[in-house]
Structure 1
Amino acid sequence: MTTLITGGTVVNATGRTRADVLIDGETIAALVAPGSTALGHDLAASAERVIDATGRYVIPGGVDVHTHMELPFGGTAASDTFETGTTAAAWGGTTTIVDFAVQRTGERVQDGLAAWHEKAAGNCAIDYGFHQILGGVDEDALKAMDELVSEGVTSFKLFMAYPGVFYSTDDQILLAMQRARDNGATIMMHAENGPAIDALVAQHLARGETSPYFHGVSRPWQLEEEATHRAIMLADLTGAPLYVVHVSAKQAIAQIAAARSRGLNVFGETCPQYLYLSLEEQLGAPGFEGAKWVCSTPLRSREEGHQDDLWRALRTNEAQVVSTDHCPFCLKDQKELGLGNFSKIPNGIGGVEHRMDLLYQGVVDGKISLERWVEICCTTPARMFGLHGTKGVLAPGADADVVVYDPAGHTSIGYGKTHHMNMDHSAWEGFEIDGHVDTVLSRGQVVIDGGQFHGRAGHGRFLRRGLSQYLV
């Protein structure tokens, strides 16, 4: 089928222009001047489907490179399945996710990846890829890294937190980074000093400080900065590319900025929750309400200025990507596992549906430019993780993942309003956005239009990713 999106303003990371987008089947065939007959005929008359985007932006589909669908954690599992989670993503203008396959200590890496293929296959409404979590680094895991790179899984996540669960020691991190240096993979790092955090958690609980607020207090910014610095030094030593996930502290982003100023391949990701939410307002909510916003790294103090510094880092490219770390848990029967003990609250916030809207509000508020919005939510994630040319850009030959976004529209975020994630609450209840996702196409197929979901489970394809195209 041929589709023509006409009358809109096409926005890529490199600029904006009035243009019509011609789609042939699953790919973009051409960007042409409005009303052009440059291809030898009247496109509007010959296209099988015409989408009127007058007065609206036409942007690449969002690329969220940090999600956790169906992740087992803390005695339960993330509440979104690959079907519900990717459907919610489509509602919010995200057309590609990269989720995390999990290898736990004692398991084969390949078995962990196979389990995630089984979860996702035939269930995704949009395209998807995988990173691989390494729960143990030994000789078998190092060999598996080479094997997975050849299978299109080209990034590996390690944890400096969660001793006894995902934690890797410094020597294990060193070995994994050396292997990534040799095979071209990117190392992703959860940078918090886990053993020190565990000691602080035990001290708070011993004093009877059990409410959700102390989740944030027990994971202070010093332990994020220290771990970020340590990860950077190991990456410097080995020459491996390093991507620090969910950066929440201004001191940690300063460490990344300093490394980048030295020419290192070190990159930083933040998430909407660290741009908008805070320790005092959300984690400090009365009673157990703060459990809704328990995530790691934790929300930071607004009084200390972390949120403003992260917005600045996005403007100056000290942070390169905004993902969600989408890891949803219901309050009832899941977050409630931590009643009376904040350390038992499953860590995670649902946000895959709202990232594009929340970051567009940053455009409206003058915090980032329109092009930067596209860059950090679509183009750079695709380049960073081996999808450039097919995802994150509106250009001939790219996949026809397209969003028609109305700057004059309005989005009320919250459960029972625009909320489609499989959760009994929303971390974003009450947020109002000066913009609206009107139409979403995934590989040329309309999946969202007119306030209706037109997609289906199984439309999404697994993406074999190449190596990062964002390295210096």
Structure 2
Amino acid sequence: MKKLIINGKIVTATDYYKADILIENEKIAAIGKKLNTDVDEVIDAKGAYLLPGGIDPHTHLDMPFGGTVTKDDFETGTIGAAFGGTTTVIDFCLTNKGEPLKNAIKAWHDKSVDKAVIDYSFHLMIGEINDEVLSELPSIIDNEGISSFKVFMAYKNVFQADDGTLYRTLETAKKLGALVMVHAENGDVIDYLTKKALAEGKTEPIYHALTRPPEIEGEATGRAAKLTELTNSQLYVVHVSCQDALEKIAEARSKGIDVWGETCPQYLVLDKTYLEKPNFEGAKYVWSPPLRDKHHQDVLWKALKSGELQTIGSDQCSFDFDGQKSLGKSDFTKIPNGGPMIEDRMSILFSEGVKKGRITLNQFVDITSTRAAKLFGLFPKKGTIAVGSDADIVIFDQNVERTISAKTHHLAVDYNAFEGMKVTGEPISVLSKGEFVVKNKAFVGKAGKGKFLKRAKYGEQLDINQEVKILM
């Protein structure tokens, strides 16, 4: 089915221009003006921005944690993502020590198949390195198309790996062409501080932040960067929340070390005082790393502007306030870590970033889509508007205003972390591979339409394999 989008303003990471887009066989077939062709549907974008579909490189859907499971699965989570302008998510596949990695991958395929409404892929957690793990990794990269590994430096006795495991993962990734991701916090020190706080009767949500100070994130980030230098490998630091971690990333990059940094919308607009809300409301804002003092926000915005941070993930990991977050009413360490961020990721960055002059429109596209596509082996199939790329297109109204609320979001979770926040700019319609998922702010997609994406190795770009047809 051929579609033609007219009267839109195309925005990529590098360009801004008025042109029409011809869609055929799930791809962008041509870009130009006054395209003379028979089509089945003409879509009038009416002066809206035409953006490449967002890529969220950091989600946790249908994930077990803290004796419960995230409220949003691959169906409700990807529906929320689509309404927010995201057309691809990369979820974290958790592994169990002593079990074959292929078992974890199968479990994540079982969670996602026939549920996702947009395309998706997986990062693979590495919790241990031994002969069995090493023997599986080449096939996982080459055959499964999973070319990024996650190592936790926190959550002692749950997810945390030791420095030897991180070192060998970096070493192996360099040989095999994978990108290593780290949750950078010093889990051993956090374990000591949390036990000390509980022994002193400090059980409220605010102590989640006070036992995970920014210095601990900075220390772990610096340690991971140093191990990356020693192995001449590549590193991606997830959910950077503070100046301490950012300084270590900037220092490493200035030395030519291949280190990348991601932040999240919650660290750009929320601060530590939210954990002090009365009546246990602070539990809604418990995630790791925790929210920081407000001055860190300006530092993170400047890093996005300067390029010291390159991407924004949601770290979507939603738990109901009633029945899940409430598990920790008498002990902050039992509050499931995480929040619902996937739907508002792009609107918040546009409203607080582009509209307020903190970043440019082209940077917005790069941060929300293009850079992640390049880092995680999806470019130029995803992450841009170009002939031959997948027709993942967001029709975005830059002027519409709305107030974020759980009453109007499309997730299953019972609260919104950004409740009451006013934003400017919103996706009106969203196409995934040329088919509407959201049309005029109404869901028209279908569970199972989203497909698993096999990704290229780190540093390798995918071929578009289609004749160029740009007609201006």
What is the aligned partner in structure 2 of residue 273 from structure 1? 266
1:55 to 47, 53, 57: 47
Match of residue 229 from structure 1:
222
Aligned to 2:129: 137
The residue number in structure 2 matching 1:26 is 26
Distance 2:131 2:393 in 1: 43
Deviation track 1:63-118 (CA, whole Å, cap 9, x = no partner) reads 00100001100010111111111111111110000001111222221111110011
Is 2:102 the partner of 1:113? no
C-alpha distance in 2 between matches for 1:382 and 1:351: 20
TM-score (ref. length: structure 2): 0.96
Match of 2:181 among 184, 188, 208: 188
Give 1:288-303 correspondences, 5 Å limit.
288-302=280-294
Residue 326 of structure 1, aligned match among 310, 316, 341: 316
Residue 25 of structure 1: how far off its partner (Å): 2.2
SS of the residue aligned with 1:409? Answer: strand
* 2:147 corresponds to 1:154: yes
Deviation at 1:141, TM superposition (A): 1.4
Q: Output the CA distance in 2 between the equivalents of 1:449 and 1:262.
A: 47
Find the aligned partners of 1:92 and 1:442 in 2 and give their Cα distance: 13
1:395 pairs with one of 359, 366, 386: 386
Matching of residues 156-171 of structure 1 within 5 Å? 156-171=149-164
Q: Specify the alignment match of 2:14 in structure 1.
A: 14
Counterpart-to-counterpart distance in 2, 1:293 and 1:29? 44
Select which of 46, 69, 85 maps to 1:77.
69
Could you tell me how far apart the structure 1 residues matched to 2:48 and 2:80 are?
Answer: 22
Tell me the CA shift for residue 411 of structure 1: 2.5
Report what 1:205 is aligned to. Answer: 198
Of 349, 354, 370 in structure 1, the residue corresponding to residue 361 of structure 2 is 370
Task: Name the residue aligned to 2:211.
Answer: 218
**SS of the counterpart of 1:403?**
strand
- Pick aligned residue for 1:312 from 283, 302, 310: 302
What's the CA shift string for 1:187-243, capped at 9, x where partnerless? 000000001001111111111111111101100011000000000010000111100
Greater CA drift, 289-298 or 461-470: 461-470
Residues 221, 248 of structure 2: 8 Å contact kept: yes
Whole-Å Cα distance in 2 between the matches of residues 176 and 147 of structure 1?
15
Deviations 1:282-306 (A, max 9, x none): 111113101001000110011xx11
**Equivalent-residue separation in structure 2 for 1:61 and 1:275 (angstroms):** 22
Letter in 1 for 2:442: Q
Quote the offset at 1:125 in angstroms.
0.2
Give the RMSD, CA atoms, in angstroms: 1.1
Q: Secondary structure at the match of 2:239?
A: coil
Q: Distance in 1 between matches of 2:260 and 2:11?
A: 24
Aligned to 2:469: none
- In 2, the alpha carbon distance for the partners of 1:205 and 1:165 equals 19
TM-aligned CA deviation for residue 470 of structure 1:
8.3
Unaligned runs of 5+ in 2: 462-472
Q: 8 Å contact 1:2–1:22 — kept in the other structure?
A: yes
Shift of residue 143, structure 1, vs aligned partner: 2.0
> Is the contact between residue 9 and residue 18 of structure 1 (CA under 8 Å) also seen in structure 2?
yes
Matched to 1:426, the amino acid is N
Q: Distance in 2 between matches of 1:433 and 1:50?
A: 29
Q: Percent identity between the aligned chains?
A: 45
1:331 shift after superposition: 0.7
Indicate which of 91, 115, 137 corresponds to 1:99: 91
TM-score in terms of structure 1 length: 0.96
- Aligned mates of 1:216, 1:14 — CA distance in 2: 38
Residue 354 of structure 1 corresponds to 344
Q: Give the total of aligned pairs.
A: 459
> 1:203 and 1:470, CA in 2 relative to 1: closer, same or farther beyond 3 A?
farther
CA distance in 2, matches of 1:394, 1:104: 39
Aligned match of 1:264 in 257, 265, 285? 257
In 2, Cα distance between equivalents of 1:411 and 1:3: 29
